[in-house]
Structure 1
Amino acid sequence: MDVYCSNNVLQARRTVEQLRLETELQRIKISAAAEQIVQYCQEHRRADPLLTGIAASSNPFKDKKTCVLL
């Protein structure tokens, strides 16, 4: 029973320490974060391969050979 109690105390101390760290974090509002994400995406959209695609010659995942069944 003593080991169980010491584990609980240790876990509680870790939780308290984590909560203390989290209270010191500087947080921004969600609307500001969303605005920054949209701005970043718009500024980098020309280099985004999901939007522009990847040239077949530079695509490392393209099959080199075609499969032929006889």
Structure 2
Amino acid sequence: MSIKKSGSSSVIQAQKLVDQLRMEASMERVKISLTAADLVQYCQEHRRSDPLLTGIAASANPFKDKKTCVLL
């Protein structure tokens, strides 16, 4: 019985894989060139508010050390 059980288990797994691949194959794809152009445009429009480009003010930085480290 264990052979039949493991055999049906692999069939179920294979069926799930086939269903997943069919679903992925039927999805509508977006051309990469269009997506890249949209991404560049978005980055250019929002560059003034990007903290990686403009930095964070020391007074607004919650991760700034409160005290300096002093070694004796």
Please indicate the TM-score interval, normalised by the length of the shorter structure: 0.7 to 0.9
Rounded to whole Å, the distance in 1 between the matches of 2:36 and 2:28 is 16
Gaps of 5+ in 1: none
Deviation, 1:23, is: 2.3
Question: Alignment identity in percent?
Answer: 64
Q: TM-score, normalised by structure 1?
A: 0.87
Deviation, 1:68, is: 1.1
Deviation, 1:19, is: 1.5
Kindly report structure 1 stretches of 4+ aligned residues shifted beyond 4 Å.
none
Alignment of 1:1-70 (within 5 A): 1-70=3-72
Gaps of 5+ in 2: none
Rounded to whole Å, the distance in 1 between the matches of 2:68 and 2:61 is 15
Q: TM-score, normalised by structure 2?
A: 0.85
